[in-house]
Chain A
Amino acid sequence: MPQVTLTVNGKTSSVEVEARTLLVELLRDKLGLTGTHVGCDTSQCGACVVHIDGNSVKACTMLALQADGTKVTTIEGIAAADGTLHPMQEMFREHHALQCGFCTPGMVMSAIDLVAKNPQGLSEDEIRHGLEGNLCRCTGYHNIVKAIDASQSLMHAKAAE
């Protein structure tokens, strides 16, 4: 079977996969990182979003073999080693930006990418458009948008440290 070597949350692994194995299957079934969810499996809901070399992508729409040699970050890899939450996680908690929580890992990963790539700051409208690839069936989005808005100053201040 083909082998894929990739660095997930700072740890490098070599894993045997089938050619048809999806990245999300590798993460969940082979590496036990079940924080990355599968919602739709049709590339639309964003529950499976992870970062590959700093870009948010849908892990259900990528072959594990396409990720060979890349650096992957999942929801398990964003809090500090001592357990301190990432500012985006903290703001999701503070602003009650989740109900069932199914969409949350993907929302948080998309939101971190969105905010990090826009240091000039995002308007509420831009945040809403930036979430086009993520669906939430519970919250109605308002609190998610508030949490992302609130995280902007925290994330940019942290990046400037």
Chain B
Amino acid sequence: MYNFEYQKPGALADAVKALGAADAKALAGGMTLIPVLKQRLNQPSVVVDLAKLGLSGITVTGDSVTIGAMTTHATVAASADIKRAIPALAALAGGIGDIQVRARGTIGGSLANNDPAACYPAAALALGATITTNKRAIKADVYFTGMFTTALAADEVITSVSFPIPAKAAYVKFKQPASRYAMVGVFAAKGPAGVRMAVTGSGQGGVFRFTAAEAALASNWSAAALNGISVSADNMMSDIHGSAVYRAHLVGVIAKRAVTAAG
């Protein structure tokens, strides 16, 4: 690993200022950033640890669940309030990686990183979440801009994420067995924003909405409504774990399972 300067500011304004330096990088749970640094894929000048900014915590109201950026996957998975309000979200968090990854990894880090195989982006897009930063509130629809890229500026820090509570929702993941990242993950939701279905793990541009499925489900919320509806293999990822054609097929299968699981 290349060396860098390490800072752990105690105030958001100081963190934002530190991130203004050339090649500065925020550090949350480190479950993605540290492996990247170990491989020397990134050479930050300054690493700004967000741990002391008071950005973790969960607030549930009648119509939304708001999660602080530094809240770990383990905390979300174990939250009785989230299990009651959006059980699919708690289950998604409990299915990320392994116990040790869930003890450190955070929702803010997952959404900032926007790995094409990550789980949280599917929940954010399907539920129509709002990502709040030190500067503004960003709708999920315009937040995810492509594989590993988002609408965030270099010195922008996610502070919290807010999810409208859906009438029903489920996340089903076909796991890559070694890492447990999604080969295909589908988050299906029927909520205030209508019927929405987001797919992760498979799109070349990262998470995307399966609009043909949404249209069919809007008039008939059932797995059978998805018979004959598929995604094109053209924009699917192809790697040692699965070809584009295989992934496109899986999207159809997992989408049905997600609708069934949502009930």
Contact = CB atoms under 8 A, between A and B. Distances in A.
Interface of A: 2, 18-20, 22, 41-44, 46, 49, 55-58, 61-63, 65-66, 68, 110, 113-114, 130, 132-134
B3 interface: yes
B104 interface: yes
Interface stretch (B94-102, B115-123, B134-142, B250-258): B94-102
Given A44-B178, A61-B30, A19 B3 contact: yes
B234 interface: no
Interface string B81-114: 0000000000000000111110110000000000
B179 interface: yes
Nearest to B35: A43
Contact of A20 (B4, B51, B178): B4
A133 B3 contact: no
Contacts of A2: 6
Contacts of B30: 61-63, 66
Given A22-B34, A61-B30, A66-B30, 9 more contacts: A41-B38, A42-B35, A43-B101, A49-B100, A56-B100, A57-B104, A63-B47, A66-B49, A133-B100
Given A20-B37, A44-B178, A66 B51 contact: yes
A39 to B, nearest CB: 13
Contacts of A133: 97-101
B26 to A, nearest CB: 13
A57 B3 contact: no
B2 interface: yes
A22 B3 CA distance: 11
Nearest to A50: B100
A11 to B, nearest CB: 23
A43 B178 CA distance: 11
B112 to A, nearest CB: 17
Contacts of B99: 56, 110, 113-114, 130, 132-133
A57 to B, nearest CB: 5
Contacts of A20: 1-4, 37
B200 to A, nearest CB: 19
A44 B66 CA distance: 30
22 contacts: A2-B6, A19-B3, A19-B6, A20-B4, A22-B1, A43-B31, A43-B34, A43-B35, A49-B100, A55-B103, A56-B100, A57-B104, A58-B100, A58-B104, A61-B31, A61-B34, A62-B104, A63-B34, A113-B99, A132-B97, A133-B97, A134-B98
